Amino acid sequence: MSLWLLILIPILAAPFAWMAQQQSRSAPRWIALGALSVDGLVALLLGTGEHATQASGHGAWLVESSISWIPRWGISLHLGLDGLSLILIVLTVLVGVVATMASWTEIQNRVGLFHCNVLLALGGVIGVFLAIDLFLFFFFWELMLVPMYLLIVIWGHAQRRHASFKFFLFTQAGSLVLLVAIVALALLHQQATGHPSFDYADLMDLTLSTEMARWLMLAFLIGFLVKLPAPPFHTWLPDTYAEAPTGATIILAGILAKTGAYGLLRFTIPMFPEAMHEFTPIAMGLGVVGILYAAVLACAQTDIKRLVAYSSISHMGFILLGAFAGTELALQGVVMQMVAHGLSTGGLFLVAGALEERYQTREMSHMGGLWAVTPRLATMALVFACASLGLPGMANFIGEFLILFGSYATQPIMIILASLGMVMAAIYSLGMMQRTFFGRQQDTRSVQDLSNVVFGTVLLIAALQICLGLYPRVVLSTAQPVMNQLVQAAASSPTMPHPLSESLLSSHLTTSQGSTP
Amino acid sequence: MILQDFIALSPILTLGGFALVTMLAIAFQRHHARIATFALLSCLLTLATLPWAATAAPRGVTTLLVVDRHALLYMGLILTATMVIIALSYRYLMVQFREEEGVEEYYLLLLLATFGGLVLTTATHFVSFFLGFELLGLSLCSLIGYLRTRRHPLEAAVKYLLLSITASALLLFGLALLYFESGAMTFQGVGAILKQAHSVSALWLGGLVLVLVGIALKLGLAPFHMWIPDVYQGAPTPITTYIATVSKAALVALLLRFATEVGVLELPAVAHLFSLLAVVSMVTGNVLALMQQNVKRLLAYSSIAHFGYVLVALLAGGPPAAEAVTFYVIVYCAMSLGAFGVVTVYSSEGSDKNRVEDYQGLFWTRPWLAAMLALSLLSLAGIPVTAGFIGKFYAIAAGVDAGLWWLVFALIANSVVSLYYYLRLFMTLFGEVATSATLPEPQTVQRPAFISLTTVCSLGFVASIILVLGVYPEPLIHLIRDSVSNLLMVALQKP
pLDDT digits (tens, 9 = 90+) for B210-230: 999 999 999 999 899 999 999
Residue A493 scores a pLDDT above 70:
no
Element of type H or E holding B102: none
Establish if B481 touches chain A: CB-CB under 8 angstroms: yes
Smallest Cβ distance to B396: which of A146, A150, A183? Answer: A183
- 8 Å CB contact of A177 and B412: yes
Smallest Cβ distance to B415: which of A73, A176, A186? Answer: A176
Per-residue pLDDT at B287: 94
Establish if B180 touches chain A: CB-CB under 8 angstroms: no
Q: Is the pLDDT higher at B102 or at A4? A: A4
Q: Do A139 and B384 contact (CB within 8 A), yes or no?
A: yes
- 8 Å CB contact of B416 and A153: no
Residue B451 scores a pLDDT above 60:
no
Q: Stretch B65-86: mean pLDDT, rounded? A: 95
Residue in B323, B368, B420, B427 to test binding to A, most A beta-carbons within 10 Å:
B427
Residues 6 or more apart whose CB falls under 8 angstroms from that of A57 comprise A80, A82, A83, A84, A266, A481, A482, A485
Residue A498 scores a pLDDT above 60:
no
Establish if B152 touches chain A: CB-CB under 8 angstroms: no
DSSP alpha helix (H) spans, B366-448: 367-381, 387-401, 405-429
- Direct distance between the N- and C-terminal alpha carbons of chain A, in angstroms, rounded to an integer: 38
Residue in B400, B420, B478 to test binding to A, most A beta-carbons within 10 Å:
B400
CA angle in degrees (0–180, nearest 5) for B355-B359-B289? 50
Q: Give the A:B interface size as CB pairs under 8 Å.
A: 64
In this prediction the pTM is 0.91
- 8 Å CB contact of B427 and A164: yes
Residue in B406, B412, B484 to test binding to A, most A beta-carbons within 10 Å:
B412
Task: Say if strands B65-67 and B59-61 run parallel, antiparallel, or are unpaired.
Answer: antiparallel
Per-residue pLDDT at B448: 43
| Size (chain B), residues | 495
Per-residue pLDDT at A57: 61
Q: Do A262 and A84 contact (CB within 8 A), yes or no?
A: yes
Alpha carbon distance B155, B171 (integer Å): 24
Residue B436 scores a pLDDT above 50:
no
Chain B: residue whose CA lies nearest to A139: B384
Per-residue pLDDT at B444: 44
How many C-beta atoms lie closer than 10 Å to residue B365's C-beta?
Answer: 13
DSSP alpha helix (H) spans, B60-186: 69-96, 105-122, 126-144, 151-182
Per-residue pLDDT at B198: 66
CA atoms within 13 A on the CB side of B235: 29
CA atoms within 13 A on the CB side of B307: 32
Per-residue pLDDT at A55: 62
**Which residues in chain A have Cβ-Cβ distances shorter than 8 Å to B412?**
173, 176-177, 180
Write the DSSP assignment of A183-232 as a string of letters: HHHHHHHHHHHSS---BHHHHHT----HHHHHHHHHHHHHHHHHHTT-TT
* Least confident span in A168-172, B179-183, B374-378, B443-447: B443-447
Element of type H or E holding B67: strand B65-67
Chain B: residue whose CA lies nearest to A161: B427
In the predicted model, what is the mean pLDDT of chain A? 88
**Which residues in chain A have Cβ-Cβ distances shorter than 8 Å to B477?**
70, 72
Establish if B305 touches chain A: CB-CB under 8 angstroms: no
pLDDT band at A463 (very low <50, low <70, confident <90, very high): very high
Which amino acid is it at A516?
A: T
Alpha carbon distance A99, A102 (integer Å): 5
pLDDT band at B2 (very low <50, low <70, confident <90, very high): confident
How near does any CA of chain A get to the CA of B25, in Å?
47
The DSSP 8-state label assigned to residue B355 in this structure reads B
List Cα–Cα distances, B309 to B221, B380, B396, in angstroms.
11, 12, 9
Residue B18 scores a pLDDT above 50:
yes
Asked if this assembly's ipTM is beyond 0.95, the reply is: no
The DSSP 8-state label assigned to residue B436 in this structure reads S
Q: Stretch A53-68: mean pLDDT, rounded? A: 75
Q: Stretch B232-252: mean pLDDT, rounded? A: 95
Q: Stretch A436-450: mean pLDDT, rounded? A: 82
Smallest Cβ distance to B423: which of A168, A179, A190? Answer: A168
pLDDT band at A386 (very low <50, low <70, confident <90, very high): very high
- 8 Å CB contact of B481 and A154: no
Residue B59 scores a pLDDT above 50:
yes
State percent of chain A over pLDDT 70.
93
Domain ranges of chain B: 2-438+447-493
- 8 Å CB contact of B474 and A169: no
Alpha carbon distance B62, A331 (integer Å): 70
pLDDT band at A496 (very low <50, low <70, confident <90, very high): very low
**Which residues in chain B have Cβ-Cβ distances shorter than 8 Å to A73?**
397
Question: Which residues, numbered 397 to 436 in chain B, qualify as contacts with chain A under a Cβ-Cβ cut-off of 8 Å?
Answer: 397, 400-401, 408, 412, 415-416, 419-420, 423, 427, 430
Domain ranges of chain A: 1-271
Q: Which residues of A257-291 are buried (b: 16+ CB within 10 A; e: fewer)?
A: bbbbbbbbbbbbbbbbbbbbbebbeebbbbbbbbb
Per-residue pLDDT at A345: 93
Establish if B473 touches chain A: CB-CB under 8 angstroms: yes
How near does any CA of chain A get to the CA of B90, in Å?
33
Alpha carbon distance A60, A46 (integer Å): 15
Taking each helix axis from N to C end, the angle separating A328-359 and A375-388, rounded to the nearest 10 degrees, works out to 150
- Direct distance between the N- and C-terminal alpha carbons of chain B, in angstroms, rounded to an integer: 23
Residue A53 scores a pLDDT above 60:
no
pLDDT digits (tens, 9 = 90+) for A167-186: 999 999 999 999 999 999 99
State percent of chain B over pLDDT 70.
94
